[in-house]
Structure 1
Amino acid sequence: MDIRPFIDGTEDETVRSVLTQGSEKMIRKIAITTALLSQFTVSAIGATEQWWVAKDAVSKQCEVVTKKPDGTLVIDLAKTTYKSEAEANAAMKKMPSCKKATEQR
């Protein structure tokens, strides 16, 4: 609802200021609510991607995967999730069981 006709048509300065303040408060509440919702949405989206360091049970090769290893065909080596692929790759390079596999190639 547009309150401009009420504000413009009102001669009383007190009524005009009350109407203006009310709309400013409402706009401020909407802006704060929108900012908070977008912050939580962005955080939730970013938190969904996880990385694991895993070793293929058959080929014995280490790899970084985005799906949690099942423990039979793909074994979770670190029992840890990583927030980025780069972080998981760095951890994989430091793991002794992965170093041995890369040296044999």
Structure 2
Amino acid sequence: MKKILIAGLLVAGFVTPALAAEYYVAQNNTSHKCSVVAKKPDGKTMTMLGTDGFKTKSEAMNAMKGMTECKA
């Protein structure tokens, strides 16, 4: 019973970070408008601004307000 419990906790520990939602600030390549997206931009239609994702949507929105690319 202990072995199963320990194995379950180890699996949950490895899977939990992968389930954490991330948000990205992206700029549309044609319209040059910025937006917050939940999926990492591919670089073809949307370009990621900044180097990292954000844990919450509000963090990404605050970061977008401070980016010079999004001021226009």
TM-score class, shorter-chain normalisation, is 0.7 to 0.9
Is residue 32 from structure 1 mapped to residue 6 from structure 2 by the alignment? yes
The structure with the larger Rg is 1
Shift of 1:91: 0.9
Q: 1:92 aligns with which of 59, 64, 71?
A: 64
Q: How has the CA–CA distance of structure 1 residues 29 and 63 changed in structure 2, closer, same or farther, with 3 Å as cutoff?
A: same
Q: 1:58 aligns with which of 19, 27, 30?
A: 30
Match of 1:75?
47
* Identity %, equivalent residues: 39
Scaled by the length of structure 1, the TM-score of the pair is 0.53
4+ residue stretches of structure 1 with deviation over 3 A? none
**Larger relative helix fraction:** 1
When the two structures are aligned, how many residues end up with a matched partner?
72
Scaled by the length of structure 2, the TM-score of the pair is 0.73
Shift of 1:85: 1.9
**Larger relative strand fraction:** 2
Extract unaligned runs of 5+ from structure 1.
Answer: 1-26
Shift of 1:74: 1.7
